[in-house]
Structure 1
């Protein structure tokens, strides 16, 4: 069985066939999903999806794109929203300098707030980084030096050096469908030496559909294609990788209840 550690089931893309999407996931062997919060102002909608389904969990947080447009939350705010049993982490948060929809200083400030909340409740933080590798690593290292925290780099697409360093710092790496793309040789090389006990898989649905579904709306069922490619890169069977990545999920997201 597999876990889709990062999807967005509250997005309008799934409104018309939500139940079928869940059925497709079950048929593909994806028995657990984490629907990720990107706007705190929509958190209730995200939480309600998780509460309605035993096999779906959620997070609370503000995507770096939305750091300036959303209310600036405090550690206390985030921790209060994470009180429900179905909320298993904070984010997604982090730095995105590719689009820069929000000023960098606000992104960085909110990133630190999420990390502080993660420490407060001993929950993982889900980290987004794009075209911000140097600043992301510097901020993580600074916060780790102050006090350690747990978490993962979601939709990993950075360098091998970055991968090696975040693993050294105790974080996990989550792989999306990008790993299946023909031109993703650098990504496959970057994760080739990441220990098996630090890897997770995700879809980031409805985005980033893996080959052979590229060009179509992504959905949790397609986690299986990504997992198969990561297994190939790591030189292990699909069954071995499925077990390892699922074990990793339950180890990192300790608030979950394994069935």
Structure 2
């Protein structure tokens, strides 16, 4: 309404469809606030006002409609591609949530076998990591591996997968440095999904630091991560229980229809992982 008033345009002169606004959020803005979104909408009104001013006076004016199809005409080419790498995640792949200088984003963890497991001949397994990981995140990988091994030993004591498997964990976008402990629960989930050869629930995202005993610890950037989850189309999101207040402080429009589940221990998350 402020932009309409400032530009003196009415709904009879300009309509900005909801899908255009969503496209701006997905492909032009990565901030946690709305300042950049307002700048892009303001640019739409500027160009629309010029179109109206150039309209021949003797012709009946028509309503200008801006939608996702003609958005580039008004705000230029998209600055960002979608964060969503997988429409359907296979076993070993989990969508986490990250907090960056540009706001929130999806952070995929990929766990794959370097070669098929031969339980008869393979000796000790191995664990390799790539993806430009910092020291804290590398430690988080080792902690997650210990937690995953413990869960598998508890639930399937005869399963020797982690003893024999040669596993490669990769975090895509290798040119971007990544660090911090908040991918802990995502790493555990990716390892268990690989070990059991089962894909997790689709359209699910998560964040949280993991302790060696499976406790899920609070993380930062909840607002940015919730926005990222909505942007990539996640439906179910796991957050640390200790971050509930951060989530409750968010405005309702930001939460949308996300199914947010607060967890304090990994066993709570694990029971819903393959549902």
Please give the TM-score of this superposition, normalised by the length of structure 1: 0.27
Which is helix-richer, 1 or 2? 1
The structure with the largest alpha-carbon Rg is: 2
Give the TM-score of the pair, scaled to structure 2.
0.25
